[in-house]
């Protein structure tokens, strides 16, 4: 077996340490691409909090259901009112026609002496 002195192992230790440092830098660079940075995580956390606040402030399903029911009842009321208005229009047209007939009849009549 060969006899080595500690001074002969120093260059090997230095080279091994340098190679380990380079390997750690390469591994850290490749891992940093896969993991998000703290600033990105903080930004996403802030966005998530804003989204959660918006969801909390949005109406619930029961609120939406009650609004939908109210809109449906208003639509029904508008339809009924529209039908009533159409009926009144027809009645007014009939009265207008009768009035024209009366006026025509009165104008055609001779005045009494």
Q: What would the pLDDT profile of 53-112 be if each residue is shown by its tens digit?
A: 998 888 888 999 999 999 999 999 999 999 999 999 999 999 999 999 998 888 887 666
Looking at residue 19, its pLDDT comes to 94
The pair of structure tokens assigned to 56 is 């909390």
Based on its alpha-carbon atoms, the radius of gyration of the chain, rounded to whole angstroms, reads 46
Check pLDDT > 60 for residue 1: no
The pair of structure tokens assigned to 12 is 């090997």
* Top-confidence residue, 13 or 111: 13
Ranges of each domain in the chain: 9-58, 60-113
Looking at residue 2, its pLDDT comes to 61
**């009768």: which residue's tokens?**
98
Residue 60, φ and ψ in degrees, nearest 5:
-80, 175
Q: What is the pTM of this model?
A: 0.42
Question: For 21-65, how does the pLDDT look when each residue is reduced to its tens digit (9 = 90+)?
Answer: 999 999 888 887 767 677 777 888 999 999 999 988 888 889 999
The number of CA neighbours under 13 Å toward the Cβ of 43 is: 5
Question: Which residues, including other chains, have CB under 8 Å from residue 44's CB and lie 6 or more apart?
Answer: 36
Check pLDDT > 80 for residue 113: no
Helix (H, G, I), strand (E, B) or coil at 56: helix
């Amino acid at each position: 077996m060969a006899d080595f002195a500690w001074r002969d192992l120093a260059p090997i230790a230095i080279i091994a340490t340098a190679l380990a440092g380079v390997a750690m830098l390469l591994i850290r660079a490749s891992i940093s691409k896969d993991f998000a940075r703290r600033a990105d995580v903080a930004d996403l956390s802030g966005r998530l909090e804003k989204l959660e606040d918006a969801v909390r402030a949005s109406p619930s399903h029961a609120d939406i259901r009650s609004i939908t029911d109210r809109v449906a009842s208003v639509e029904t009321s508008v339809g009924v009112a529209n039908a009533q208005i159409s009926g009144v229009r027809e009645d007014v047209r009939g009265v207008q026609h009768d009035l024209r007939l009366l006026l025509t009849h009165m104008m055609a009549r001779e005045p009494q002496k």
